[in-house]
Amino acid sequence: MSNERKLKGKIKYLIIVPILLAFVLMGICIYVFGPYAKQTIIALIALSVYIIIVIVAYIRLMPVINSSMVEYALEQGKIQNELLREMAVPYVILDTDGRVLWANSKFYDTIGVMDKKHIKKPIDAYFPQLTPSVYENNERVEMDIEYGEKIFNAYIRRMDLTNVFLDDKEEHKNDEVVIAVYFFDITEQRRLEKENEEQKLVAGLVYIDNYDEVMDSLEDVKHSILTALVDRKINMYLSNADAIVRHIENDKYFCVFRQKYMQMLRDDKFALLDEVKSINVGNEIAMTLSMGLGLGSDNFIEDYEYAKVAIGLALGRGGDQVAVKAGDQVTYYGGKSAGTEKTTRVKARVKAQAFEELLVGKEKVIIMAHKRPDSDAFGSAVGVYRLVSALGKKAYIVLNEVTDAIKPLVATFNNSNYSDMLINSEQAMAMVDPQTMLVVTDVNRPSMTECEELINLVSTVVVFDHHRQTSDAISKATLSYIEPFASSACEMIAEMYEYMSVTPKLRQQEADAMYSGILIDTDNFLVKTGVRTFEAASFLRKSGADVTRVRKMFRSSMLEMKERAQGISNAEIYMNSFALSYVVPDPESADTPTVPVAKVANELLNVDNIKASFVVTEADNGILYISARSIGDINVQVILERWGGGGHANVAGAQLEGKKKEEFFDELKAVLKEMYESGEL
């Protein structure tokens, strides 16, 4: 019903009500004085005259009232329309397809179109974010939109005209849905917010990774020269960010600068890393450094804590890189080199003594490695088992699946001496109590362990791993010994034996298991092999490990040889530097060929000009297993981190669910090309 009809209906009450009241008054007079009384007759005459006057007045004045009300309504409509048109906020009404039905002058000014000109283009031609999908199913939407140099907060309201014409059957048939959009200019607000954000401080820690090793390789008279050059490089680079830098120790610096300079440092990919490596005053080893930056908090002390966490992550990943921690988000830069092996065993001694102290108050220890364990995972678990047993504590190893990679090793433990050594996840969780310690070996990511639930059940958690640390590493570890420079976890455990109060006596099969872990992870001492690797192997050899026996255990089957040959024949060379291949599992084999895949990746590095290899296989459970190897400066761990993988600079892997090898190779090629063009490779 229109406003005019409603108004006329209400005006009718002006005559109906007085007439009804007059009749009521007549009835009262008749009732009080009687029908023929003088007073009744006078009252009836007076009321009749009153009724006639009211009717005449209504008939005479109604056209005037209607005309006045219509003029008033029209005047009000013009005022409202003019107010909307001249409103300081851009305002537009759209149909459901995004076409402009009506807009005010401010909207025309904003988009640079002549006022009152018919706009033929849909709204998303001017504001690409305002597509029909944004408002087709939402009553109210609020979003920020950039247009030219301005930023608007768009308030979008979907209006159903059924609510306007609710009582009118005829008009209800033709109602429509319209979209009203208000644009509030928040450019200045966002500018001030950005300016405020840029003025916040960033806390930074700069550590020289291999200070002692470099100085030991350099003549004493050149120590001060090298230190001065490094100090100058760091100060000059950070002065570009208007930073305050303080040299707090021989190999440590502290800096602070405003957040506005972070983008500049990101854009040049923290060139300081390469500048320091280029310094050479006769040092045989290139000096590398790591940086940890903390930002994103309103509290500078909290930013400093972020910086300490970040530098720990950078060092845990092998150094020669920058870790930026902004709240819960961690970003890494650099990390191209494989790092320098630490010749000192101070860290091994400190961690061994700390581990022994933690054992004092515990009754039993549960040991677990990663899912689908390899020789290093099982060997290091056996090494911890013997170490704990030598200290008089009960130990168990969680093993849910005996893969082909460790089947020969596990078979040697099938005797009465190890009857209760191996347990599954359910048994492990059932035996947890306050006197239980959990030791995680050869992995530092909770999701990749044999039983992730154990980490939350046990109060004391110890981690021994040689893989580069990631941002989702086990956070509640009481003791964490992560040494990315080590060849294997077995090497790390073997080193710790020397510093225990009771020297564990390894049995023959235990020494074989640990030796095989080093052997497999170094590809027969060809990859990531340092002085300490040979020292650990020598210790295990003296403890009873037999090279021939271990070699016999890991001879390849004919099926594996065929799978390796297949992987080599399937290889594709990309960008003249990368070998990409795959292995199709034999349908008659129950196991996924992860071992042949790793061996194919190693063998492809023997091809001339190949810097890195990536080999995959698809398991029946829908998981895509990826093995990556590199030689030289290519860091395959950084590459596979794009898919949630990890490992070392030269040896890395990943597991992907629900992805086909063709999809992965397409994505990998795009990443390799992007990293090459940006100078990261």
- C-alpha span between 635 and 681 (Å, rounded): 8
| C-beta separation of 652 from 468 below 8 A | no
- Predicted confidence at residue 23, as pLDDT, reads 79
Predicted confidence band at 170 (pLDDT cuts at 50, 70, 90)? very low
What is the chain's mean pLDDT, rounded?
Answer: 82
- C-alpha span between 427 and 367 (Å, rounded): 13
Instruction: Give the CB-side neighbour count of residue 9, counting CA atoms within 13 A.
Output: 6
- Predicted confidence at residue 555, as pLDDT, reads 79
Query: Encoding tokens for residue 394?
Result: 């009960």
Per-residue pLDDT reduced to its tens digit, 61-80: 666 665 565 565 555 556 66
Other Cβ atoms within 10 Å of 351 Cβ, number: 21
DSSP three-state, residue 71: helix
- C-alpha span between 236 and 234 (Å, rounded): 6
Per DSSP, the residues of 89-141 read: S-EEEE-TTS-EEEE-HHHHHHHT--TT----S-GGGT-TT--HHHHSS-SEE
Q: Average pLDDT in the 283-297 region?
A: 87
- Predicted confidence at residue 167, as pLDDT, reads 47
- Edge-to-edge strand ranges of the sheet holding 364-368: 422-423, 394-398, 364-368, 436-441, 460-465, 479-482
Which residues lie closer than 8 Å to 226 by C-beta, 6 or more apart? 214, 215, 218, 279, 281, 283, 287
Residue of higher predicted confidence among 646 and 445: 445
Say yes or no to pLDDT of 175 above 60: no
Say yes or no to pLDDT of 1 above 60: no
One-letter-per-residue 3-state SS of 601-636: HHHHCCCCCCCEEEEEEECCCCEEEEEEEECCCCCH
| C-beta separation of 461 from 316 below 8 A | no
Q: Which of 497, 490, 492 is nearest to 519 (CA)?
A: 490
- C-alpha span between 44 and 27 (Å, rounded): 9
Instruction: Give the CB-side neighbour count of residue 212, counting CA atoms within 13 A.
Output: 6
Say yes or no to pLDDT of 288 above 70: yes
Phi and psi angles of residue 527, each rounded to the nearest 5 degrees, phi first = -120, 135
Say yes or no to pLDDT of 8 above 90: no
Other Cβ atoms within 10 Å of 106 Cβ, number: 19
Other Cβ atoms within 10 Å of 680 Cβ, number: 18
DSSP three-state, residue 653: strand
| C-beta separation of 634 from 611 below 8 A | yes
Element (H, E) at 144: strand 140-147
Say yes or no to pLDDT of 371 above 80: yes
- C-alpha span between 218 and 226 (Å, rounded): 9
Phi and psi angles of residue 487, each rounded to the nearest 5 degrees, phi first = -70, -30
Buried (b) or exposed (e) across 604-614, using 16+ Cβ within 10 A? bbeeeebbbbb
Residue of higher predicted confidence among 343 and 147: 147
Phi and psi angles of residue 464, each rounded to the nearest 5 degrees, phi first = -120, 115
Strand partners, 83: none
Q: Provide, rounded to the nearest whole percent, the portion of the chain with pLDDT above 70.
A: 88
* Cα Rg of the chain, angstroms: 40
Which residues lie closer than 8 Å to 42 by C-beta, 6 or more apart? none
Per DSSP, the residues of 476-544 read: S-SEEEE-TTSS-HHHHHHHHHTTSSS-----HHHHHHHHHHHHHHTTTTTSS--HHHHHHHHHHHHTT
Angstrom distances, CA of residue 223 to CA of 205, 249, 280, 290, 514 = 22, 15, 11, 20, 40
Say yes or no to pLDDT of 7 above 60: no
Q: Provide, rounded to the nearest whole percent, the portion of the chain with pLDDT above 90.
A: 17
Q: Average pLDDT in the 276-299 region?
A: 87
Predicted confidence band at 204 (pLDDT cuts at 50, 70, 90)? very high
Say yes or no to pLDDT of 322 above 60: yes
Predicted confidence band at 174 (pLDDT cuts at 50, 70, 90)? very low
- C-alpha span between 160 and 178 (Å, rounded): 7
Residue of higher predicted confidence among 456 and 165: 456
Strand partners, 177: 160
Predicted confidence band at 589 (pLDDT cuts at 50, 70, 90)? low
Assessment of whether the complete model's pTM goes beyond 0.75: no
Per-residue pLDDT reduced to its tens digit, 380-413: 999 999 999 988 889 999 998 888 788 888 988 8
Buried (b) or exposed (e) across 287-311, using 16+ Cβ within 10 A? bbbbbbbbbbbeeeeebbebbebbb
Residue of higher predicted confidence among 116 and 329: 329
Q: What angle do CA 451, 452, 454 make, to 5 degrees?
A: 75
Say yes or no to pLDDT of 41 above 70: yes
- Edge-to-edge strand ranges of the sheet holding 651-657: 572-574, 578-582, 612-618, 623-630, 651-657, 646-647
Per-residue pLDDT reduced to its tens digit, 490-542: 999 999 988 888 888 889 999 999 999 998 888 788 777 888 889 889 999 99
- Predicted confidence at residue 287, as pLDDT, reads 87
Residue of higher predicted confidence among 17 and 4: 17
Phi and psi angles of residue 210, each rounded to the nearest 5 degrees, phi first = -125, 45
Cα dihedral sign, 425-429-435-439: positive
Amino acid in position 583? V
